[in-house]
Amino acid sequence: MPKSSIAIDGEHLSLHEVVQVAHGQADVRLAATARQRVAQSQAWVEEIIARGKPVYGINTGFGIFADKQISPQDTRTLNRNLILSHATATGPELPAEVVRAAMLIRANTLAAGHSGARPELIETLLAMLNKDVTPIIPSQGSLGSSGDLAPLSQLALVLSTDAADRDEDSGWAVYDGQRMSGKAAMSAAGIPRLVLGPKEGLAITNGATFSAALGALTLVLAETLLDAASLSAAMALDAMQGASAALDPRLHAARKQPGQMAVAERMRALTAGSTLLDTAGRVQDVYSLRCAPQIQGPAHDALAYVRTVIEREINAATDNPLLFDSQSISGGNFHGEPVGMALDFLKIALSEIAAVSERRSFLLLDSKMNGGLPAMLVASPEAAGLNSGMMMLQYTAASLVLENQTLAAPDSVRSLPTSAGQEDHNANSMTAARHAWQVAHNCAHVLAVELTLGARALELRLGQHPQAQAGRGTAAALAAIRKHVPAHEHDALWAPGVERVKTMLLAGELSAL
């Protein structure tokens, strides 16, 4: 499939485009109008230097050394030293798609024309994306203020150099499937490395860019997860012969919560045509079924808020200082608080989606609560004991839910001062972003467990009532799952089937049902 082409201008980058570039599905170029703005911004930097007055970040030191003026002949050394001294990230490496998303977002930030960087810096980042040079970036060590300094400095090691041009000072990258030094990767790809000029060290490292990249990709994943949660809830409701009154549109309109109404509408569509609903004689169901719209709906509302924050952030000028008409203005746009708070909210929402999903999985397995289905969904009740059924899947889901409950604790409320107290309140946004990413992937597995159990339970229920039929959407989901995951009469290795369902879920194959 040919790649699409995206032009960045600092203002109109979409989440869809971030995902495309992150997965190597699009090439990127700098829009002509943005190139003009960037060149003008760089000219302003030259004007400021020519005046000879100290201006933070351009001809001064950084942080607590802001009062130290730097001579024009030392500005290149200043910017290289910034990168070398700040590349202190540690921990497991970030996934390649996260690094690529961050590179795109950083390039788009610079394209706004307020950072004072040369167009060549942006074009180097874009060349790395287009030729698939992916820096290796450790995931820990950023407070999100002044932006994601450590990981962005690791990125800058790969694209920048100095007179010594030492291989060991060039970081690491993957090119053509091989791990190598940044210097070797850039050389192999035919991309010249840059000697950073005035302001460019801060321009490339200031801003919560990796936090925003993780946030953008997690948000898009979360939208898929919420749709899958409506499907898994509908399958469980159908398999449990649940009470349809809980989905009545009048009930939800009376609450006036848009997310709740959307989930109820989706569940009604998925269960439409079911002759299993309302046949158990129950007036009302347990909360995980009856209140699914009220529990899962707020997550939809949370996503709407998070989407607004992230869409703004990926099109924001976030370094410091910023340039406006040859005037340098020092402030704090690098501070990751908006991203950190939003991703804390997203963690809570996804943690609750997983929590209620696990409760429905428990319900389907418990013979005291599942309305006559076999204990642990053992296909042949007479073989119970010899067969453990699908009992352990709920254990896994419960473990992930408990982990999520820890990870969902807010990170943005935690702060320690740095830089001798100059930076006395930090956002902790990168930790929030990493935790949100993990919560989302845990949630995906919990939902895959419920969908696997829901398919089994629905089959068994239809076996009990041969004349009945499932809802049109739930029946289609059962058929889609059975295309990839065969039913087993006796105990089997369940985990590969759950993984296949999760792959279907993440690919959006269950969202169109």
Which contiguous run of DSSP H or E holds residue 453? helix 429-464
CA dihedral 322, 323, 324, 327 (to 10 degrees): 110
CA atoms of 500 and 338, how far apart (whole Å): 36
Within 10 angstroms of residue 207's Cβ, the number of other Cβ atoms is 34
- Which backbone phi and psi does 28 adopt, to 5 degrees? -130, 145
CA atoms of 273 and 472, how far apart (whole Å): 6
Eight-class DSSP state of 489: S
CA atoms of 300 and 278, how far apart (whole Å): 27
Q: Is 418 left (phi over 0), alpha (psi -120 to 50) or beta?
A: beta
Q: Where are the alpha helices (DSSP H) in 137-257?
A: 149-159, 182-189, 200-205, 209-239, 249-255
- Which backbone phi and psi does 75 adopt, to 5 degrees? -65, -35
Three-state secondary structure along 144-168? ECCECHHHHHHHHHHHECCCCCCHH
> Which entry of 56, 175, 287, 395 is annotated as an active-site residue?
56
Determine the 3-state secondary structure of 383 from DSSP. Answer: helix
Q: Which two tokens stand for residue 113?
A: 């024309």
CA atoms of 357 and 292, how far apart (whole Å): 9
Determine the 3-state secondary structure of 6 from DSSP. Answer: strand
Question: % helix / strand / coil in the chain, to the nearest 5?
Answer: 60, 10, 35
Long-range contacts of 51-54 (CB under 8 A, 24+ apart): none
Three-state secondary structure along 54-78? CCCCCCECCHHHCCCECCHHHHHHH
Residue 173, Cβ density class (10 Å: 0-12 exposed, 13-18 middle, ≥19 buried): buried
Helix (DSSP H) and strand (DSSP E) numbers for the chain? 18, 9
Q: Is 56 a residue of the active site? A: yes
Which residues are known to be catalytic? 56
